Amino acid sequence: MENFHTEPIPDERPVKKSTRSGCLGLFIDTIETVLLAVVLFLGINAISARVRVENISMKPTLQPNEFVLINKLAYELGKPSHGDVIVFHYPLDPTQDYIKRVIGLPGDTVTVGGGIVYVNNTPLTEPYIAQKPTYTGTWKVPANSLFVLGDNRNESSDSHIWGFVPLSDVVGKALVVYWPLDSMQILDHPDIVKAAP
């Protein structure tokens, strides 16, 4: 009687793998992994930045030593709004980056008096500030510029002291506090002028 096989008979001889091709394969896999990591790193850095809060000027919203994720494309794709928390190059020393809240947009008139901030004569309701401002003044925001204030109004070096932020100096919009973990939060950006009474 003849034997019929429906499956091929495995070759019982052991196949000797080339050591060279194994090492070469590992090397190629490693190079591909490193290149992918570099591409991802560069891509993420092109659209975002990570910033460490250095001082108390944005308390209570942001605390010193918190790390914040910044969207660098926010204003490439859109425009700043009242209430946005932004990172920008400090106009008097562009090697330093500051983080503040947008109060006035181009063309706005910002007035501070009696502990209240007004934008185009509209008083702002600002539950996020540390305390009411004790200073006074009126500023007309020029074209292509922003007026910014720290949430810790009386302990902040901001537009009420040194002037306006050119739009070209804006790095991006602050999105999330991601470190330390117990401080993690999505940053709220209320349109403080539209929300005003």
pLDDT in tens, 9-18: 555 555 555 4
Q: What are 145's strand-pairing partners?
A: 166
Q: Cβ-count burial of 72 within 10 angstroms (0-12 exposed, 13-18 middle, 19+ buried)? A: middle
The answer to whether 57 is a known catalytic residue is yes
Exactly one of 59, 100, 156, 159 is catalytic; which is it?
100
C-beta of residue 174 within 8 angstroms of C-beta of residue 87: yes
Residue 12: its pLDDT value, please? 56
Weakly modelled stretches of the chain, pLDDT under 50: 1, 18-19
Taking every pair of Cα atoms in the chain, the longest distance, rounded to a whole number of angstroms, is 110
49-186: what fold?
Umud Fragment, subunit A (2.10.109)
Q: Phi-psi region for residue 182, left (φ > 0), alpha (ψ -120 to 50) or beta?
A: alpha
Exactly one of 57, 145, 156, 159 is catalytic; which is it?
57
35 alpha-carbon distance from chain centroid: 26
Whole-angstrom distance, CA of residue 153 vs CA of residue 47: 30
User: What SS3 state is found at 13?
Assistant: coil
The answer to whether 100 is a known catalytic residue is yes
